[in-house]
């Protein structure tokens, strides 16, 4: 429903709308027409300027073309096959009309043959080939006239442009100063707010009233309206040049690809119109204020008696005593309303007295009935709610439920209970369920009635060829006073659960037996493998030691009898023996780590790492290595194995950072997923993460001979970490270093 408003506001609004709306419409129409007229005037002026400049430029560019053709004809006539007289013939024509700075003669292969200057100064002609230049390519493709993009002359340092025509299967090119074209657009600049300029297809300024901009690319070249002009789209648009909005007309030249743009500053062009709009707005505000003041004064006199009548009607509606209103409002319609309200008030008072007497009689009766109805509704609602809850609970239960009185008579069953034992309402439970004449000896309900607590019974029922298992729970039922009035029996079918329990027990027994069997096999295989590795490495020491000893004797006592190649082979045998010895030591260390018994205690890892680092520095004092060791890092485990772990990780970092001028090795701890993670980080050679799965495999190396090693060290670190219930992994950026992370069982 529409919200009502006061008469005063309605009248004032109507007066203002009738006064202001026609004025606003007239202003809007006038401003629109003025805008359209001003825009059309500027468009015509721009197009006139653009067409005038276009005509002047097209007339002017005929001059250099005629000049080039005259030079070409004169050279062909006098020189023919002899090019020695080209300079004299060309200079004679350039003296008559010095429009060109230079004239260049290019043969069919694009090589520069001659270049003649208008000022007669000798020119140094480098070996230049124009075969790939745009102007040469255009003429070779069949164009009779080709214009170049503006460029800076090396002779004068000013902006110039070249025009070319065919000559003896080659090209004749004349280069002229852009000042001539700038003079044609300078008259268009009547002020800083309006001017015209010429643009090449690549966005270079060919002519502009401001000669300093000629040859440069301006930001407005990227304006779509201007770039569309190169494809023949002409028109007048509004766009931005720099931070100014302009109205510009775009026109394409007929005989080349240039575009001329004539622009007017929009703010300057529309300034008189903006001043007119401000004047009209001020006039509107003055008229509106005057109309509002006069309407307020006049409408106040009209609405005063109406407001008085409204107050009078409120008194009548409230039933208050209303005095006679003898004052005339001055308006006939309002005086009649006052008379009608007085008569209506008197009639309403008489009728109200009659109704009041009747209402008092009915009030007492109504109050009594209301109390009775409320009590009935409360009782009915409570019963309905309890019934709905009970029915909903019973129907949703998957277990069977029945209620029995103290004589074991079934007084209620849900659907699940009926499906299990049949409909037994009104019957004794022992007759309906077990077909007995008396209460069963193991009846859980009897126990519940006896001690007042819940009792549970498991029962088996033969169902055809299968046996069904039931769980029966009996609980006493009491009234609000706590007196036992019956019992609740819940029956659950647990046949599937019993079968699942039996199957789980059977599977657990089978799994436990398999685990014991496989564990024994694995332990035996590991023991045999470790014993074999240890025995092989031990048995290899004796022959290897003999080979090394005899090779050393041969080198020391009989080296004079060997040539250089023999000495080289002998040195390689000794080196191989040494490397084989280190490999056997590493294999025995790996076997020892796997077989030795753990002797766990609280170990200070920071102290162990610092001791190993000091030993490395003492062994190689010339290395420039910085260590960053976090203090107080501790772990629970075998101290000897922790020394092996940290020694191998530090040895790995020391080795692969050996090529760095300033090596940095760091040992610290992070918290990842609420678990401590230790790490050893270096800034060495790093590795390709694609092959990170080979890092901890024995004898696998990711680098070549530039780094020594047997490929066993990281396998040993993994074995130590696994024996302490942890895991180890690595991250690296090739050429920037590597970080090895490991965890230990708390």
For the residues 322-343, what does the mean pLDDT come to?
Answer: 64
- Which pLDDT tens digit goes with each residue over 214-256? 766 555 567 777 777 777 788 887 777 777 788 788 888 877 7
What pLDDT is attached to residue 62? Answer: 83
* Residues facing residue 111 across a β-bridge: 129
**Per-residue burial over 86-97, b = 16 or more CB atoms within 10 Å of its CB, e = otherwise:** bbebbbebbeee
Provide the total of helices (H) and of strands (E) in the chain, helices listed first: 16, 23
pLDDT band at 535 (very low <50, low <70, confident <90, very high): low
Closest CA to 400 of 422, 374, 371, 367: 422
For the residues 316-327, what does the mean pLDDT come to?
Answer: 59
* pLDDT at residue 432 greater than cutoff 60: yes
- Which pLDDT tens digit goes with each residue over 639-667? 888 888 888 888 888 888 888 888 999 99
| Residue ranges of the chain that CATH labels 1.10.287 | 495-594
Q: Does domain 596-742 have CATH number 3.30.565.10?
A: yes
Q: Per the structure block, which two tokens stand in for 657? A: 């950072």
| Max mean pLDDT range (537-541, 671-675, 705-709) | 671-675
Give the percent of the chain with pLDDT over 70: 78
CATH architecture of 79-177: 2-Layer Sandwich (3.30)
Is residue 253 within 8 Å of residue 54, measured between CB atoms? yes
Is residue 256 within 8 Å of residue 206, measured between CB atoms? no
CATH of 495-594, one of 1.10.1060, 1.10.357, 1.10.287, 1.10.20: 1.10.287
CATH architecture of 397-493: 2-Layer Sandwich (3.30)
pLDDT band at 706 (very low <50, low <70, confident <90, very high): low
Cβ neighbours around 660 below 10 Å, total: 16
Task: Identify the helix (H) or strand (E) that includes residue 663.
Answer: strand 663-672
pLDDT band at 741 (very low <50, low <70, confident <90, very high): very high
Q: Per the structure block, which two tokens stand in for 416? A: 């699940």
Q: Cβ neighbours of residue 221 under 8 Å, at least 6 residues apart?
A: 199, 203, 227
pLDDT band at 705 (very low <50, low <70, confident <90, very high): low
Is residue 219 within 8 Å of residue 203, measured between CB atoms? no
How far apart CA 684 and CA 666 sit, in angstroms, is 12
| Residue ranges of the chain that CATH labels 3.30.450.20 | 79-177, 397-493
Is residue 664 within 8 Å of residue 626, measured between CB atoms? yes
- E-only strand ranges, 84-169: 100-106, 112-117, 146-147, 151-152, 159-167
* pLDDT at residue 678 greater than cutoff 80: yes
- Which pLDDT tens digit goes with each residue over 474-522? 889 888 888 888 888 888 877 777 888 888 888 888 888 887 777 666 6
Residue with tokens 């390709």: 688
pLDDT band at 553 (very low <50, low <70, confident <90, very high): confident
Q: Cβ neighbours of residue 388 under 8 Å, at least 6 residues apart?
A: none
How far apart CA 1 and CA 233 sit, in angstroms, is 57
User: DSSP label at 563?
Assistant: -
Closest CA to 390 of 518, 302, 512, 477: 477
- Which pLDDT tens digit goes with each residue over 85-138? 777 777 777 777 788 888 888 888 888 888 888 766 656 566 778 888 888 888
For the residues 12-23, what does the mean pLDDT come to?
Answer: 70
* pLDDT at residue 1 greater than cutoff 50: no
Residue with tokens 């209506």: 344
What pLDDT is attached to residue 259? Answer: 86
pLDDT band at 54 (very low <50, low <70, confident <90, very high): confident
Q: What is the average pLDDT value for the chain, to the nearest integer? A: 77
For the residues 576-582, what does the mean pLDDT come to?
Answer: 62
pLDDT band at 628 (very low <50, low <70, confident <90, very high): very high
């Amino acid at each position: 429903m529409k919200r009502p408003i006061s008469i005063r506001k309605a009248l004032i609004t109507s007066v203002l709308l009738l006064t202001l709306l026609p004025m606003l419409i007239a202003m809007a129409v006038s401003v629109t027409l003025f805008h359209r007229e001003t825009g059309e005037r500027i468009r015509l002026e721009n197009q006139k300027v653009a067409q005038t400049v276009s005509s002047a430029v097209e007339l002017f560019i005929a001059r250099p073309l005629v000049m080039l053709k005259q030079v070409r004809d004169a050279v062909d006539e006098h020189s023919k096959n002899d090019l020695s007289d080209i300079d004299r013939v060309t200079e004679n024509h350039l003296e008559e009309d010095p429009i060109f700075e230079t004239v260049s003669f290019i043969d069919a292969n694009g090589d520069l043959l001659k270049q003649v200057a208008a000022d007669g100064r000798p020119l140094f002609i480098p070996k230049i080939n124009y075969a790939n230049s745009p102007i040469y390519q255009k003429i070779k493709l069949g164009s009779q006239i080709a214009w170049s993009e503006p460029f800076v002359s090396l002779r004068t340092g000013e902006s110039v442009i070249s025009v070319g025509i065919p000559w003896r299967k080659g090209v004749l090119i004349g280069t002229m100063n852009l000042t001539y074209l700038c003079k044609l657009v300078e008259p268009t600049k009547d002020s800083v707010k309006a001017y015209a300029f010429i643009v090449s297809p690549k966005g270079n300024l060919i002519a502009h009233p401001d000669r300093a901009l000629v040859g440069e690319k301006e930001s407005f070249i990227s304006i779509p309206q201007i770039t569309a002009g190169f494809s023949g789209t002409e028109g007048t648009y509004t766009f931005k040049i720099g931070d100014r909005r302009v109205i510009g007309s775009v026109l394409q030249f007929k005989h080349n690809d240039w575009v001329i743009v004539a622009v007017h500053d929009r703010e300057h062009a529309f300034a008189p119109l903006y001043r007119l709009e401000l004047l009209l707005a001020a006039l509107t505000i003055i008229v509106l204020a005057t109309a509002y003041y006069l309407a307020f004064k006049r409408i106040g006199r009209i609405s005063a008696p109406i407001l008085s009548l409204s107050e009078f009607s409120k008194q009548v509606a409230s039933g208050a005593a209303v005095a006679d209103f003898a004052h005339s409002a001055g308006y006939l319609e309002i005086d009649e309303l006052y008379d009608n309200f007085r008569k209506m008030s008197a009639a309403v008072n008489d009728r109200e007295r009659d109704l009041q007497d009747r209402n008092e009689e009915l009030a007492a009766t109504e109050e009594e009935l209301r109390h009775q109805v409320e009590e009935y509704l409360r009782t009915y609602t409570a019963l309905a709610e309890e019934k709905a809850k009970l029915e909903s609970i019973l129907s949703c239960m998957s277990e069977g439920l029945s209620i029995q009185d103290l004589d074991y008579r079934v007084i209620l069953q849900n659907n699940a209970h009926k499906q299990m034992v049949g409909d037994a309402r009104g019957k004794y439970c022992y007759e309906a369920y077990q077909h007995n004449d008396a209460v069963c000896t193991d009846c859980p309900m009897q126990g519940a009635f006896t001690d007042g607590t819940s009792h549970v019974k498991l029962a088996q029922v033969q169902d055809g060829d299968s046996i069904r298992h039931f769980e029966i729970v009996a609980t006493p039922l009491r009234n609000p006073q706590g007196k036992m009035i019956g019992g609740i029996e819940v029956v659950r079918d647990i046949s599937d659960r019993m079968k699942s329990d039996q199957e789980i027990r059977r599977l657990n027994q089978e799994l436990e037996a398999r685990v014991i069997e496989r564990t024994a096999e694995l332990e035996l295989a590991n023991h045999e493998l470790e014993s074999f590795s240890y025995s092989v490495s031990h048995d290899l020491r004796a022959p290897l030691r003999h080979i090394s000893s005899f090779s050393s004797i041969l080198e020391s006592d009989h080296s004079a009898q060997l040539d250089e190649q023999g000495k080289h082979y002998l040195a390689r045998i000794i080196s191989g023996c040494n490397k084989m010895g280190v490999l056997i030591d590493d294999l025995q260390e790996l076997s020892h780590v796997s077989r030795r018994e753990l002797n766990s205690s609280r170990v200070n890892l920071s102290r162990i790492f610092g001791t190993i680092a000091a030993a490395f520095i003492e062994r190689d004092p010339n290395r420039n290595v910085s260590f960053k060791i976090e203090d107080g890092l501790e772990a629970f485990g075998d101290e000897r194995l922790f020394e092996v772990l940290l020694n191998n990780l530090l040895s790995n970092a020391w080795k692969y950072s050996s090529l760095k001028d300033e090596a940095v090795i760091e040992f610290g701890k992070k918290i990842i997923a609420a678990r401590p993670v230790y790490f050893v980080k270096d800034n060495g050679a790093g590795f390709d993460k694609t092959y990170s799965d080979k890092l901890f495999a024995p004898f696998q190396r990711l680098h070549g001979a530039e780094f020594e090693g047997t490929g066993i060290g990281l396998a040993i670190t993994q074995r130590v970490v696994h024996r302490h219930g942890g895991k180890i992994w690595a991250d690296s950026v090739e050429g920037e270093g590597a970080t090895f992370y490991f965890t230990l069982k708390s």
